[in-house]
Amino acid sequence: MHPTTLRRPAGMAWIVALLVALLAVAGCGSDDASDDPAPAADGSATTSVDTMFGRVDVPTKDDMKVVALGWSDAEMALALGVKPIAVLDWQAFGGKTKGVGPWAADRFGDVEPTIIKPPGDGTLNYEQIDLLEPDLILNTRSEPDKKAFDRLSKIAPTVYPPKGTPAFATTWDVQMQQVAAALGKQDEGAKLIADVRGRIEQAAADHPELKGKTTASGAKFGDAYGAYLPGDGRLDLLTDLGLVNNDGIADLPANGFFATVAGEQVPVLDADVSVILPIGYTVRDVEQDDLLQSLTAVKEDRAIVLDPSTDLGDAWGTMSTISIPFVLDELVPQLAAAAQKAG
């Protein structure tokens, strides 16, 4: 399943093709993502980052030309005050918001990054990236593709997720650690992580009605359904708020950050508080889906169906240190209302 919905799909066939590509492909890591930057004689520095493909040395400087290829990498860099020269626009935000969510676009200021289209066939446009002459390539939330890493590394130092991270399953805090380490901004990254964790903890404290209620973070896509698993930012945020993953979901066969849910298994999405994201569908399509409409959570108005055409629908899948506070402000009141209905 695609990590989240596309903002303005170019047609169902394209979406399904991309979903299938990503299906062929939970984060882990530590706070010691790299050594502290080592100053050089010319005033520059070199930092080292541990990745799934080994240790990567990155010469750092104030005016680094950064290409952000991984899901949410651009927003993580922007949070650290670094404006990428190019952004792979996974969620099809487009040039209006410079390839990132509207909650982050103003951080580019006057900079107009090159917008790179998502690789619908799974192949990056290496020639386009090479012509940008980057100093650093970020691909910290992506597929574990060694051939792509080798090819990109010939262009510039390339930072991937830590060892053992499934495809597109880098947790938001580990992703920030990797990006901050690559940019030589470990202290700034640690502060951002602490700030966001504090926001989540405060939201949980403000809404004790969430604690212990069951939840399911699901999706309708293509001709199937899915349930997000521990390690995916969406479910992790729900459990960090005090909710508990629904029984049965963890027993489903994992496919990276999610589990495919067959028609007869859709009841696993029935929880005290269910959150459903249509991918390639509309809210109206969910309302006409007999299986989803059969869930007690839906019948009792305890299921939150995120509209994929809204900022919240997009932010739900972005999970950056900039978008998470936005999600908390928009979604937590809805979660609390659903939890109160569950008793």
What is the rounded CA–CA span in Å between residue 169 and residue 66?
A: 22
Q: What would the mean pLDDT of 254-262 be, rounded to a whole number?
A: 86
pTM for the model:
0.86
Where in the sequence of the chain do the CATH 3.40.50.1980 domains occur?
29-184, 200-342
What is the rounded CA–CA span in Å between residue 237 and residue 203?
A: 11
Q: What would the mean pLDDT of 285-300 be, rounded to a whole number?
A: 95
Q: What would the mean pLDDT of 151-165 be, rounded to a whole number?
A: 97
- Give the pLDDT confidence of 105-145 residue by residue, as tens digits: 999 999 999 999 988 777 899 999 999 999 999 999 999 99
Whether the pLDDT of residue 210 is over 70: the answer is yes
> Which of the two residues, 340 and 2, has the higher pLDDT score?
340
> What is the structure's pLDDT at 264?
93
> Which of the two residues, 311 and 39, has the higher pLDDT score?
311
Q: What would the mean pLDDT of 214-241 be, rounded to a whole number?
A: 92
Mean pLDDT of the chain: 88
Q: Which fold has domain 200-342?
A: Rossmann fold (3.40.50)
Whether the pLDDT of residue 24 is over 70: the answer is no
CATH superfamily of the 29-184 domain:
Nitrogenase molybdenum iron protein domain (3.40.50.1980)
Are 89 and 115 in contact by the 8 Å Cβ rule? The answer is yes
Full 3-state SS string of the chain? CCCCCCCCCCCHHHHHHHHHHHHCCCCCCCCCCECCCEECCCCCEEEEEEECCEEEEEEECCCCCEEECCCCHHHHHHHCCCCCCEEECCCCCCHHHCCCCCCCHHHHCCCCCEEECCCCCCCCCHHHHHHCCCCEEECCCCCCCHHHHHHHHCCCCEECCCCCCCCCCCCHHHHHHHHHHHCCCHHHHHHHHHHHHHHHHHHHHHCHHHCCCEEEEEEEECCEEEEECCCCHHHHHHHHCCCEECCCCCCCCEECCEEEECHHHHHHHCCCEEEEEEECCCHHHHHCCHHHHCCHHHHCCCEEECCCCCHHHHHHHHCCCCHHHHHHHHHHHHHHHHHHHHC
Whether the pLDDT of residue 177 is over 90: the answer is yes
Q: What would the mean pLDDT of 72-100 be, rounded to a whole number?
A: 97
Q: What would the mean pLDDT of 13-36 be, rounded to a whole number?
A: 40
- Give the pLDDT confidence of 238-247 residue by residue, as tens digits: 999 999 999 8
> What is the structure's pLDDT at 250?
84
